[in-house]
Structure 1
């Protein structure tokens, strides 16, 4: 049994022999040849004409204040040009991005940020996007369809050149304690296009993992219906333990840690983080279909995670006859932070 085989058991809704983790058992990248989002620190404009701001210390890039790529959604066909993914340097990008991947012992994952709703509000601004969901349903539907078709082309090129096990697709639908839109609106305007994207990922022989922050618990059964293999980060507002108990045979859960209250708390100590990680592993791991992954941005969370995983898994490794690699001696930037700042992971 390799770590790759073990983590794949979780993705296939089975109980692994030990607790898998994306930090230890997965190689990840954002495709560097795709000219979307920020191009390093400062203010830059991407291929869609969206202006992005990223400065050292920011947790992630933001659309530049005072800019708005699309001022009227009814004019999107005249104002938005979708690039041709065939023009991207896929071969060179894949060679660079996957050079360090260990395809024998780890799974591989390519991240696609700015999914359907995220790409919409990056173009229009959040306030207008939320208003358009109510006032301009037909225009929203047609723009999201165009975004989905573009993303599907991108997915097909990723499959051809990167050959990953998994696509991680980002699209947030919730605030901290409620959804950003009604469930009926999500089902009418987003679900049909997202369903096509999931199908495209599966048609290419890859797993589909969806990243969605905030409160999205009302959508779990829809996610299962359209074929999600896995879901992260499962913030506590969703009551992840209850969701896992109910749906673990249909969906792999990735995360479920108390990031807001403990792991990402200002000046959180190593001990506080280790206690939270140990508690969630003990709670979430039994029964399988779960992967320990508590961090997206701050690499320092990885240190207590790795320590607790080695502590928890040691007797399980011995039972399975698995000889784990030595604990990593140095923490690396997360793939998100490294890609945004143009630093090496």
Structure 2
């Protein structure tokens, strides 16, 4: 395995893919100092009658929701929960995205190298305890998820393929020039260019996704899957905000009218809060200033349980929770559970349920 002790700079999509695959395959240790320069980029383009060099209010709302989902995705990666309260004011400032609107359409491009560097720096303590493969899995999800490389793969259509040919040509040109047969590019058909693009980009990005599932730990996979879904929710919010558009491009995904309607129809996450009484196994604990977080496992799933420590009388119940953690014995709890799409995301502790003592 090769080690990189000095600064490792990533300045292009292909260098990032090559680097990530080398780490996932165990050929390269994750460097101590990774920096992005002039890459990655978030590319958003909306074409339609209302989107000629303008940004309607509805789309502004979509961008705001996208930013909110970026915050939530980062919180999931760093803290394991989609809770904005986890992020400090500094983190929110560092993770704020800035877009530039070009003339001709609502065409917004943003180079987010500084964003990626600050996000990576903020994850330092979390990633320090991970092995190289888990670090790579987190970085791939963070960078490609935010930039939209994983968004809307199922909505690519033949009607929008012509728009992608320009990108195909450029990527094929780079590959051909590197092999010193530039003249051959003129002979390539559109189909051949698409095949070249698949070899250069689609296949490698897909391979990264597959390699992550093979090499990352279960704990890391759980975090990055939910974070990836959160990033995609933000991209869907932008599409919903521009449902009358003729075409929307986000990263590598090109959506025509039919695809825009299909994405917009996807339901928003259903959030709910309900009381729950359930038998649980406590698997871990983390201390905070005014509360503790216990990791619990029960018939309803696995989720973090928040227990306030600044409430009168809480000490005795916390002692019982610790005893359950120490012995591995089950304990019956009354909770207020926060559901997302009928799955518990997190819960707040109410009380321990005492079983009645049988009368003699």
With the length of structure 2 as denominator, give the TM-score of the two structures.
Answer: 0.23
Greater radius of gyration (CA): 2
* Higher-RCO chain (CA-CA 8 Å, sequence separation at least 6): 1
State the TM-score, normalized to the length of structure 1: 0.23
Higher strand share: 2
